């Protein structure tokens, strides 16, 4: 799985709470991914974060 946080992020912090091993909040107040490549161990958490993002800023494929 690949993940990318796009420019729509409003900085709600949800993804970093749901999956702190993949998402963190930057000094600018928006989220970013530690790695664009997500291993199987984190795939479910990352998908849950993507599904729950209020502005669909987390793109997975
Ligand atoms: S859940 Fe979406 S809007 Fe909220 S911090 Fe993460 S990427 Fe940004």
pLDDT at position 9 is 98
pLDDT at position 13 is 98
Among 24, 17, 15, 25, smallest CA distance to 46 is for 15
The alpha carbon of 44 and the centre of ligand 1 are apart by a number of angstroms equal to 16
For residues 28 and 46, give the distance between their C-alpha atoms in angstroms, rounded to a whole number.
Answer: 21
Q: What is the chain's length?
A: 61
pLDDT at position 55 is 98
pLDDT at position 15 is 98
Please choose from 8, 11, 49 the residue to mutate so as to test ligand 1's pocket, defined by most ligand atoms within 8 A of CB: 11
Distance of CA 49 to the CA centre of its chain: 6
Write down the domain spans for the chain: 3-60
Name residues whose C-beta falls within 8 Å of residue 17's C-beta, 6 or more positions apart in sequence: none
Q: Quote the pTM value.
A: 0.95
- What's the token pair of residue 29? 């107040």
- Out of 1.20.1260.10, 3.40.50.2300, 3.30.70.20, 2.60.40.10, select the CATH number for domain 3-60: 3.30.70.20
**Per-residue pLDDT tens for 1-38?**
999 999 999 999 999 999 999 999 999 999 999 999 99
């Amino acid at each position: 799985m690949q993940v990318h946080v796009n420019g729509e992020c409003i900085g709600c912090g949800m993804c970093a709470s749901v999956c702190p091993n993949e998402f963190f909040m930057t000094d600018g107040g928006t989220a970013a991914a530690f790695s664009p490549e997500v291993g199987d161990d984190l795939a479910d958490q990352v998908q849950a974060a993507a599904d729950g993002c209020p502005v669909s800023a987390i793109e997975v494929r």
